[in-house]
Amino acid sequence: MDYNFKIDVDITKAETLPASFYRDPEIFEALKQDVFYKTWQWIGHENSVASAQRTHPFILLDGFLTEPMLLTKETSEKIHCLTNVCTHRGNLVVDKSGRNKKLICGYHGRRFGLDGSFEHMPEFKEAIEFPRPCDDLHRFPLRKWGPFLLPDLILLLIFRS
């Protein structure tokens, strides 16, 4: 996107951004793509999945990115950040925080491991070339900074396209 303003790398030449920057819906959308989807976003404290087999659904930046995501704790150490959108028909897989050994979609029963890997789908025994890697729940790289959790969203751009 071409912006009609310039940001000088020399801070001594800095100027206030024009008001249009804050009002333009195209710039607003471009900021999502060019800034928020390409950076690590803080999503919370590791205690939101304090013990093994805990699951914690949340909406990433609700009203802005509005991305349904899910934290799972597979073991006492391993935390995963997954999409909470079922790979079958897009239903939310987990609707409330709790303790789960497996992730089971309430719509048609597709089952995933706590790492997002596809495990089972009722009535799909005859399906050809099934399952495939795209049937897994997408897993985002997750970093910890102290107790804080930060997923890398860059893959979300690819995942959504």
- Is residue 40 a contact partner of residue 151, using CB atoms and an 8 Å limit? yes
SS3 81: strand
Q: State CA 41 to chain mean position distance.
A: 10
Is 99 near ligand FES (CB under 6 A)?
no
Binding residue count for ligand FES, defined by CB under 6 A: 9
CA distance 20 to 108: 47
Token pair listed for 25? 């819906």
Using the minimum distance from each CB to ligand FES, give the nearer residue, 98 or 147: 98
CB of 84 to ligand FES, least distance (A): 11
Q: Which of 60, 71, 105, 114 binds ligand FES (CB under 6 A)?
A: 105
Using the minimum distance from each CB to ligand FES, give the nearer residue, 79 or 86: 86
Q: Which residues contact 90 (CB under 8 A, 6 or more apart)?
A: none
Is 107 near ligand FES (CB under 6 A)?
yes
CB of 62 to ligand FES, least distance (A): 22
The closest of 76, 75, 72, 44 to 57, measured between CA atoms, is 72
CB of 145 to ligand FES, least distance (A): 33
Enumerate binding residues for ligand FES (CB under 6 A): 86, 88-89, 91, 105, 107-110
